[in-house]
Structures are given as C-alpha cells and as structure tokens.
Amino acid sequence: MADSLPQETLFFNALRSDDWPEPEQAWTLDEVELSPAGLAELFESQLMSRHLDLHARRLQARGEAFYTIGSAGHEGNAAIAGALRPTDPAFLHYRDAAFLLQRSRQVPGQTPLWDLLLSFAASAEDPISGGRHKVLGSKALAVPPQTSTIASHLPKAMGAAYGLGLWRRLGGGGEWPADSVVVCSFGDASFNHSTAQGALNAAGWAAYQGSPMPLVMVCEDNGIGISTPTPEGWVEASMRARPGFHYLSCDGLDLLDTWRAAREAVRIARRHKQPVFLHMRCVRLFGHAGSDAQQAYLAPQRIKADEARDPLLVSAGLLRRHGVLDRDAIAELYRELGERVAHVAEQAIRRPKLETAAQVMASLVPPARPPRIRPWQGEVDATPAPMAKLLNQALARLMDRYPQLVMAGEDIGRKGGVYGVTQRLQAQFGPHRVIDTLLDEQSILGLGIGLGHNGLVPILEIQFLAYLHNAEDQLRGEAATLSFFSNGQYTNPMVVRIAGLGYQKGFGGHFHNDNAIAVLRDIPGLLVACPSNAADAVGLMQEAVRLADEEQRVVVMLEPIALYHNRDLLEEGDQRWCFADPGPEHRLPVGELGQWGAGRDLAIVTYGNGVYLSRQAAARLEAEGIALRIVDLRWLTAIDHDAVYRSVADCGQVLVVDECRRSGSLSEELITALVERGMAGHRLHRLTAEDSFIPLGRAATVTLPSADAIALRARALVVEAGSVDQKTLTGSPQA
C-alpha cells in the first residue's frame, strides 16, 4: 500500500480504540429494511471514495493529478444512491464520489475506480469528459457531468423533473423511464446562492399548482462554505415550511438513518410526483480542496472534533454492532481497497492525454441524430407581413411539425408575448406545450436545459436582452458546456429567443433597449442568429430548430424589437419592409450571407437594424451616383469570413455598420478577418454604437448608428477614395 497520509493514521488509531462515534439514533437493520450484505456494500463504497480522495493528493504531489476537491465526510451519500434506481437521472454535487461508486454497483460491467482515476489524471480515455475536467458523470449511470459552477445544476434538475411529466402528457418518450425520480445534490453554502433559491422556488411554485415534479433535492450540510460557517439551523428553518416541498432530514454520518430517509424521499417523489428536500447533515474533512489549509480559519479543537465524527468510523461501528464485520476485517478491507486504488492509479496515469487544440475542441459541437420532423400539410399565407407576424406563422408550423417541440417563457401563452409573437399558440397547442413560466430567467433557461436533457426541444423566450444578463451562466456554464464536458454523450439542445437591440419608438431606456451581445458571442459552441427582415426571420428560425433537433445545438435567436412590427422602409405606408412567408422548407444555414445590390464603390457589412438603416441610406446614396451593396451577416457567430471577404473584395471601400458597442464588438472580428485575408487597412472602416448604455426618450438613439450617419460616412469614404467625384454628387447638402 502507498505511504500513509495523516488522515489514514487518524483512521487506524481510531479503529484501534473502543471509543467509536455513535449515531444519533440506534436503528436496527430490520427497522430500516437493509440487509447485512447491503450495509457492507455501502461501507465499501464509502471506503473506495475515501481512498480516491487520499490518492488524488498523492498524485497531485507527484504532478499526476490536477483537481483534488474531495468527498471526505460526505460519503453517506452512498446510501442515497442505493435508495434510487440507476436509471433515475442524478445531477450531483462535486463531493458525491461515493454516490457514483455505489450506483455503479447497480449496473453490470462498470469500472468506477478506473474511470475516476482516469478523470483525476486528465486522461483522454476518461469515459465521461475525455480528459477535459475532473467531473462526476457517467452515461451508463444516468449521471450528467457537473463541474463546480455554484448551484448552476439545480435549475436544470428542476427542468428535467418537469420534463418527465411533460413527456407523459405528450404520450411517452424521452431519455429516462416515465416513472423516474430526478435527484440533485448540493452543499449548504450553495443553498444560499440565488441560482439555488430560484430553482427551489420554481420547483415549489410548479408543485404548489399541481404540476408533477418528481424531484429530490439533497442538501449535504457540512456547516461551512470554504471558510464561512453556515448559521446553525438556517437550512432547516428555510426549508421546513417551504410551500410545495416535503422536508426530510437525516444524519449523513449514519448510513442507516440516511438510507431510511432517502428511501422515504424517493417514495414520496416517485409516488406523488412532488418535490422533496432531503437535508443530510454531514462533516467536511481535510479542508475545502487540496490547497485549502483549514487551520487558517478553523480552531484546532473544531478540526479535531470533525475528525472524530468521521462517517467511516460511524459506519465501522455499525458493522461491528450488527455483527457484519469485526475490527480486523474492517482494517483488512481498508488496506485492500487502498492497495487496489494505488495499483489502478499507476496504470491510469500512464494513459494518453489530450495533446492538441483539435482534440480538446472535438466535443464542443454535439453529435448529429436523425431528424424528427413531420411533413407540413397546411397552406402558407403569402400575404406580405412584418417580422412578428411571420415569426408567429413559422412557430405555429414548427410546433405542428415537431411533436417534441415545446415553448416556455414569461407571458408567452395567454398574452401571446410582450410583442405578440406567440399569439394564439397556447390556444392551438395547449398550455403544456406553450408554457407560461414564472418571472425568473435562470429558471426559464434551466427548464429548457432539463427538457433538452430528456429528448425534448425547447424554444425559450427571454423578454428582453437586458434580462438575460442575470441568467447568462445557464448558457455559458451549463447549456454550452454539456457536450464539451461529456465528450458528446449528453446534450441539451434548445433555441432561445431574445428580444433585443435598440431603436424602439416610444418605449426606450436601457432595460428594454440593450445592445450588449458580446457575452453571447464569447460562449464556445453557441450559435447566434439575428434577422433583419421577416423572411429571413422565418429562414433563421426554421434552421435554428433544425439545428437543435438534428445537430443538438444551442441556438440564440436575437430578434430586433424595433423591426417586429415595422412595415415601411422609406416613407409611411410604403410597406417595403413587409415580406411574404417563404414557406416551411426555407432555411438559412449557418454562415450564409444575404446581399442587396451589387455596386462596387462601397460595401456595407451589417446585420439586424443595421440592414434596415443601410437600406434607407442606400436610397439616398444611389440617387447621388454611388454604387453600393449591403451584406447581411444573418449569423453573428461561426461567421464564414471567407464568404464575407469574397462578397466585398471587389469593392473600393468597406464600411462595417455595427449597432452594438464599439469595444468587444462584432465589427472588431470582421475587420480583423478581412485584414488577415489580405485586404488593405485603408479600405476598411467601422461605424458603431458608442460604448454606452441606451437612454430614455428623444436621446434613445443618439448613441447608435443612424441612416443619416451611414449616408454621411459613405459619401466621405467614396469621395476620399476617388470612386465618385464630389462635384458629381447630387441632392447632398453634405457634398
């Protein structure tokens, strides 16, 4: 066996003593309906988890392991795993190695020690993440991987539980059995995070109204968050009378009490389809993580008291007391498992590692799957209409063609959305497919992630772009990372509709006009579309749903609010910004550009409102003898820069009109890409919004590009380049 660490010495010293910690309640095996063999099995899972913690520290000291946050003190969660089925989806706390080890016993052919040690060593053969992170996860065990973003997995657990009931309404299907229970575990410090509170509130809110919510939320309460203590009694006081929840508690140091409470929690959740909060009191040993020295903030007597409450010692006492194993057999089992872990580790650390950027990025894009679309049997209304109307028609078609499609968001049902885009859809498809949610963007996105986990394709609506920012980690830390951290084994496809950007008339201010899109474009794997007109909105939305269904992508549809109901281009009543519905098969693939005009004096590259404004400017410029073209990006990520270059290469000047902020903007990427492809810098120019929030009232557009500003800049550029003589310009007071 490898050299002993101080923690092992403490364990063996305590084992030799007769002063073993006693559980709070003296349950018998018969009372909790657990066999002697079952108790011994749970203890073995606890021991394996402990040895993995200890050996991770040895490997880290040798430079062979890279992440040592451990499960020591929390090993009682093995009993929770034993109370569940291996098909029950489990969104786990990062201290739940014993849970994973115990669950692996329920599925033949598992090699959990080997798998976890490969993960510790960041091996490319790690079966869950492929060496990208030390995560607890397994496709075979229905455990999606979870990293350490605080509480971010709680909203998706709520969504997954809701999805089980939704599939029953839809007639069956999904990734998990219809009578599954979703379990989600987290710590007492995470309990206080706004994300956790939002998820708990959403689960209780739904259950309070009778929605099925077969969910067990396990709070593993060790009394401290890194160095900050949790007030005694706080978690219980917060949850005991919480509406919509059943509250149960257990001594997480006592396998029998935890087994009893976990079985009751699962029984309630499975039978009554109601959420349960299982409060498991435990202890944290060895500090928060490998580099954490708890001596800096905990008194020696507190550390000593915690070590005396080691759950392995409590379990050893139970084994002796119930005649399952004696002291010598326990010590021998401890040594044997330690040697096994050390032996497997020496093999695991020699396995291949990720070596190239291509290998690391291979799982950013999920794998494809067969389409699940039905033929369209209806007739297309070809009457030219603005964007909101055509989006509504497209969404109705998509809901009819994709039976696994559901929509969710604030006010999208009975009201039909703030801007009327989803009018009458709830009446047509029912409240279970067009879901009016509570006012919480984190819960809306988490609901969608959970539904996507379970084989559904959600279309979520965020009312305003400014409202996304308090929930963006659900996209950054959860939705877009799932395929990456699971090596493509888990996905949560979705389409997120966000009403955004500026130029609203009569309704302004930063919170309803937001042009901060950098956060979306900075998320690897996320796709962002932005239509400039109604026909493109249909093509982009239909492609977004195809991408989600067939390619399992996460797609954001950024919809310009100011263009929802806009009908006119140059003058009131001209109806030149109304378009015919291009039909159910019209799709605009990622990277496909739109173009208006073929002039060579100037190319304007833009998107969204910028296309509309540039068309207004173009009407003036062409009358003055300037020949130009307008290139519409349509997609704001995964841009085909070669195609952009080809579309502007023969133009004398190129002007990027970017309605978003100058710093960290799309225009920076576009200019850089054109320079990299050999275009001379003196031909490239930007017209952007200022680095400012958007104000209210008459000043609402003064920080943004305008048709006047585009026309003025365009004239100056073509005159400076000599493409058009200033004297030839007509009708131009600026000439």
Q: What is the DSSP string of 139-184?
A: TTTTEEEE-SSTTTHHHHHHHHHHHHHHHHHHTS-SSS-TT--EEE
Which tokens belong to 468? 């996304």
pLDDT of amino acid 523: 94
CA-nearest of 385, 391, 222 to 294 is 222
CA distance 612 to 634: 13
pLDDT 10s digits, 273-330: 999 999 999 999 987 877 778 888 888 888 888 888 899 999 999 999 999 999 999 9
Which tokens belong to 464? 């305003």
Which tokens belong to 339? 């040697």
Number of H helices, E strands in the chain: 25, 20
Number of neighbouring beta carbons within 10 Å of residue 504: 19
Strand partners, 408: 435, 460
pLDDT of amino acid 732: 43
Pairing of strands 224-225, 136-138: unpaired
Q: Which amino acid is at 459?
A: I
Q: 3-state class of 543 per DSSP?
A: helix
CA distance 304 to 105: 33
Quick check: is 279 catalytic? Answer: no
Strand partners, 246: 276
Query: Could you tell me how far CA 498 lies from the centroid of its own chain?
Result: 16
pLDDT of amino acid 1: 46
Report residues of the chain scoring pLDDT below 50: 1, 730-735
pLDDT of amino acid 288: 84
Q: 3-state class of 509 per DSSP?
A: coil
Query: Could you tell me how far CA 270 lies from the centroid of its own chain?
Result: 26
pLDDT of amino acid 11: 74
pLDDT 10s digits, 534-574: 999 999 999 999 999 999 999 999 999 999 999 999 999 99
What pTM was estimated for this model as a whole?
0.93
Q: Which amino acid is at 492?
A: N
Classify residue 731 by burial, with Cβ atoms within 10 Å: 0-12, 13-18, 19+.
exposed
CA distance 161 to 652: 58
Q: Which of 74, 453, 512, 685 is catalytic?
A: 512
pLDDT of amino acid 65: 87
Q: What are phi and psi of 189, to 5 degrees?
A: -70, -45
Element housing 497 (H / E):
strand 494-500
Contact 601, 653 (CB under 8 A): yes
Task: Please give the torsion angle defined by the CA atoms of residues 48, 50, 56 and 61, in that order, rounded to the nearest 10 degrees.
Answer: -130
Contact 603, 649 (CB under 8 A): no
Element housing 50 (H / E):
helix 36-61
Element housing 601 (H / E):
none
Which tokens belong to 119? 């993960």
Q: 3-state class of 465 per DSSP?
A: helix
Q: 3-state class of 186 per DSSP?
A: strand
